[in-house]
Amino acid sequence: MKVSLFITCLGDVFYPGVGKDTVEILERLNCEVVFPPNQTCCGQPAYNSGYHKETKEVAKHMINTFAESEYVVSPSGSCATMFHEYVHLFEDEPEWQEKAKELAAKTYELTAFIVNVLQIEDVGATCHKKVTYHTSCHMTRLLGVKDAPMKLLKNVKGLEFTDLPNKEICCGFGGTFSVKMMQISEQMVNEKIDHIEETKAEALIGADCGCLMNIGGRIERQGKPIEVMHIAQILNSKE
């Protein structure tokens, strides 16, 4: 099975190790992974800020970039969601909307691809940590990926999992929201960290680098002894 990796901006700049883990997991599961070098930002920041005309130019580029891909897999629920949003973006351009539908149909967040396409729930990972899991908004509410991460984490040997209280509440990132509404965002992420501490977990896991950057940055500023990890790091762990 041939998979095109869509790494995302945050993954490229801030979390390159997540990309490495993603590739190693997929290759271990007998996928051939390719990286289309022309990929750029998916256009989500502009789209969420109302700059739809500018977003269309980016979207057309990304549609063309992945036009020949069999599957597109991303270690980011938020950015995978944006590929699905292209369908709505091109409602007034039927030709491009059809192309957008083709891209959306073959685009998956990493855990959803492993569970729903590869039909695998145990990737052979081992991790001796006490953890909890943050459910990101775009991934669960828009992309509809809820069960896949839990199925995979359940089969990680040595992992002690505790459910996160009020897990459905946003962490306060929201892309440009955290910049435009900084004070509100800060209160939201503080509340999220309070709930993480309730679990007594030594590590917080998530599947969206944006959320992890927001929560992890606040945890670091507060000096909390909580590790923040992408789910790909857990699924590629052997310790």
Tell me the per-residue pLDDT of 130-159, one tens digit each, with 9 for 90 and over.
Answer: 999 999 999 999 999 999 999 999 999 999
Nearest 10 degrees: CA dihedral of 69, 115, 163, 213? Answer: -20
Q: Tell me the pLDDT band of 127, cut-offs 50, 70 and 90.
A: very high
pLDDT surpassing 80 at residue 175:
no
pLDDT confidence of residue 174:
83
Question: Tens of pLDDT along 22-56?
Answer: 999 999 999 999 999 999 999 999 998 999 999 99
With contact defined as beta carbons under 8 Å apart, do 133 and 167 qualify? yes
pLDDT surpassing 90 at residue 239:
no
Question: Tens of pLDDT along 63-94?
Answer: 999 999 999 999 999 999 999 999 999 999 99
CA–CA separation, 214 and 219 (whole Å): 9
* Entry pTM: 0.94
Give the start-to-end residue ranges of the domains of the chain. 2-117, 130-235
pLDDT surpassing 90 at residue 125:
yes
- CATH architecture label of 130-235: 3-Layer(aba) Sandwich (3.40)
Question: Tens of pLDDT along 190-201?
Answer: 999 999 999 999
Averaged pLDDT of the chain: 95
List, in sequence order, every residue forming a beta bridge with 109; answer none if it has no partner.
74
CA–CA separation, 146 and 91 (whole Å): 28
